[in-house]
Structure formats: C-alpha cells, structure tokens
Amino acid sequence: MTVALAFAVNALCNFIIGLLVAKFLGPEAFGRFALALAVGVVVQIACFDWIRLAAARFGATRSGQIGAHARATLDASFATVTLAVTILGLCALLGGFDLSLSPELLGLALLAAVVNGFFDYQQALVRARFEDRLYARLLLTKNLLSAVLTVGGAWLTGSALVAVAGVCLAMAGSLASAHRALRQGRADRDPTNHEKTLDYLRYAKPVVAASLIYLALALFNRSLMVERHGFAEAGQFSLAFDMGQRITQSLGVMLDVVLFQLAVRADARQGGEIARAQVAQNMGLAFALLTPACVGLWLVLPSLAQIAVPTEFRGHFERYFTLLVPGFLCFGLSVYAIAPMFQIARRTGPLILAALAACGGNLALLAALPPEADSIALAQTGAMVCSLVALLLFALATPAKWPGARDLLAPLLGAGVMAAALAPLRDWAPGATTLLLQMSAGAAIYAAILWASDACGLRTTALAGWRRRGKDA
C-alpha cells in the first residue's frame, strides 16, 4: 500500500512538473529539454539498466536480504561503467562531432544518465529488501526537489540547460538525503565475482537491448520531427508523448515494483511453477489497470487539456495524444504484462525480436504515410502495436501460465461500458466540473463491473482482508 500510494503521488507530480516545465520553457526550449532527457535515458538504458535488472532479479536471497557478493559485484560494475561513460562522453564532447544538442546540454544529458542510473539501481536494491517506506521516501524527496530545482529553474531562466541540471540535482539530492539507509547491505570488503557479472549480463542484455531499441525508436521519431518540422513542433509532440508515456510507465512500474518482486521471491522460495502462477496473476492485474487508464485518458482529454496543458500546447497536445494513446496501451502491456513472463523464465531473447518488430513497423509506416507531423505519431503507435503482437506470438509458443478468460474479458467489458457511457461527456464544455464527473462516473462504472465479475480475484481478496481486520479488531 505504501508503494502504491507513493507511485500515485509520483505519477501526479511527474505530470504536473512536466506541464509546468513546458509552460515556462515554451515549445522550442522544451523541445531541446525533452531531446536532452531522451538522449540521457537512451544512454542510461544502454549502459546502466542491466545493473538495475540484475539487482531486482538476483539481488535478494531466500531471506529477502541482499547477498553480500551480489552487492559488491553490482557496485563494482556500476563504478566501471560510470568511468567508461565519462571517458566516452569526454571524447564525444571534445571530438568536434556535429551534434543536435549543444556541448553543454549533451554533457548534462550524460550526467543525467549516470545519476538516474544510480537512482534506479538503489531503488531496485531497496525493493529487493521490501523496504517500502525507504522506497517511497526516495520518490517523494526526488519529486519535491524537482519541483523546486527543475520547475524553479525553468521559471527563473527559461533555459533548457538549467532545467536539465535541476533534474540531475533532484535525483542526487534524494539519494544524499537517504545515504545512511542506502548503505545497508553494502559489502566493501567482499570481492567482486566476475562470473556473476557475466551471468547478470546474459540475463539482462536482451531486456536492455529491447528497452534501448524502444527508446532509440522514440528518439529517432523525435529527431525526425525536429528535422522535418522544427524544434517547436517537436516540443508539441514531445509534451503529448512524454506525458502519456510517463503516466503509462508510472502505472506499470507501480505494479511491477510490487508484483514482479513477489514473483521473484516465489521463484526463490517455492520454485518456478508458483512463480509462473504469480506472473499470470500479475498479468491480469496489469491488464485490468492499464486498459481502463488509457481509455479514461482519452475520454477526459478535452477537460484535462483545458485545465492542465499550457495554452500554446493545447490543440497540438489533444491531436498528438489521441494518435499516441493506443501505442501507450500496447507499450504498457508489452513491458509490464507480457515481458515478466520471459524474465522469470530467464529466457529474455524474444524481447529483442519484439522490439525489432516495432522498428520494422515504424519504418514501414513512415514510408507509407505522407511526410506530415501526424504521420510520425501514427508510426510510433503502429510500432508499439507490432511489438505487442510479436511478443504475444512468442509467449504463446512457451509453456507459461496465462490469466483466466474472466480476468481478461471483465476489464474489456468494463472499459467498453465506461467509454460508451462517458463518450457523450466529451462534447460538454471542458473544465474541472466535467473532468470530476467523468472521473467519478468512469471509476464507479468500471469498479462495479470488476467487483461483480470478481476479475483477478479482487473481490475475494478484498472481502478476505476485511474479515481478517474484523477478527483482529
């Protein structure tokens, strides 16, 4: 519950911070800010994310603690990769390469990659120990600092450079505030294990490669937008893409940080069969959350744009978001519902093939569609559809467990009824009243259908919890 609440607050904060930064920077500067962060994320995924994945999958022992040798190996790996990134970054900056970003902005993008990589690694270690309060503390502190440093810097200066620096300082400040607690389980004197490092790489490199392909694909589309239509249009596209992707990832990660660790613990303590059953249950829960969330975002889009989106972004925001929202759903289901099936089985190769299918779909659509801005958004969505279809085909060829038909049909029915009931409200005058009515009515309709059908055992679990509380009282 603590983690879920922290992530709900984190998603809301990220959404608000992103909108405020866009408002204070304006389309052109925000386009540079978004491109710099996208470069940083690509570097982070390429170089550091395998360490986070290894910590989440292999860091915990049967007792739930971090193994000393695993921690020493992961710490040494992070230090080595950081040194390599620093050297290569300096070579790129001093080599006189023709870069889309200024040298200062590119340098800060690389710094953001290192700091964000370390932040995610530390969070993975905390989750492996099931320290929910510390996990929530890191998230909330980062958001508070980001509100002051990132938003404040954008407001005072209107500079993308200052805003990216604020992102770096916010994450570093959050880690510094919890320095003592994060040192738990650290083993300075334990030797690193190079064989373990290779095992971690073998497990994580397909996941990292797939993530990198998705990010590079988004970066390619964003850069294409800059080349064809300029930084201002890229900023318009970036706001819609970043907000939708961030909401989807926040919802998916909110489930993943809790549910995937339960599957990992089940695998360590009870074996693969129980772990696969947990993954199937997790898959149903992810589907039940992401499907109505994406449908609901489209339903409330006019009011949401009216209230939250800066005036100069509104028309473009609604158009791009509408084109991108099916892709957000497909991406969320691919990463947070289907991919854990391969991760638990330690057979992560199909994730790369699904990502390559996304690239093929993206290029095919770009070639077939006219060279307009909307075509790039459609290609991005089509790429995610191709990825999900490919991943499902690979998954169907494995002996994995799947959610029951009721766990899939009930969310589809709930989302469909919710959309049919609330679609007329999209024509109402957008604003806070309409948004509140849409959200409350949509949540009530969807929850009633899930409760009546007992999808994913939610009603059974809730009633059992209430009975236990009644007995304890």
Does residue 45 sit in the same domain as residue 141?
A: yes
> Does 200 fall in a domain?
no
Q: What range does the domain containing 276 cover?
A: 206-460
Q: Which of 8, 1, 257, 2 is nearest to 136 (CA)?
A: 2
* Model pLDDT, residue 166: 92
Domain total in the chain: 2
* Model pLDDT, residue 158: 86
Mind listing the pLDDT tens digit for each residue in 358-415? 999 999 999 999 988 899 999 999 999 999 999 999 998 887 789 889 999 999 999 9
Q: Are 282 and 260 in contact (CB under 8 A)?
A: yes
* Model pLDDT, residue 97: 57
Q: pLDDT averaged over consecutive 10-residue blocks of the chain (473 residues)?
A: 68 80 84 84 87 78 53 85 88 66 83 91 82 85 91 89 92 88 61 73 87 86 86 84 86 80 76 81 92 94 85 83 95 93 86 95 94 92 96 87 90 94 90 92 94 87 76 62
* Model pLDDT, residue 98: 52
> Does 255 fall in a domain?
yes
Q: Which tokens hold the place of 2?
A: 């603590």
Q: Are 64 and 129 in contact (CB under 8 A)?
A: yes
> Does 470 fall in a domain?
no
Entry pTM? 0.79
Alpha-carbon span 221 to 149, nearest angstrom: 29
* Model pLDDT, residue 184: 65
Alpha-carbon span 131 to 137, nearest angstrom: 10
* Model pLDDT, residue 188: 47
Q: What is the three-state SS of 187-256? A: CCCCCCCHHHHHHHHHHHHHHHHHHHHHHHHHHHHHHHHHHHHHHHHHHHHHHHHHHHHHHHHHHHHHHH
Does residue 262 sit in the same domain as residue 228?
A: yes
* Model pLDDT, residue 295: 95
Domain boundary among 192, 217, 249: 192
Does residue 224 sit in the same domain as residue 151?
A: no
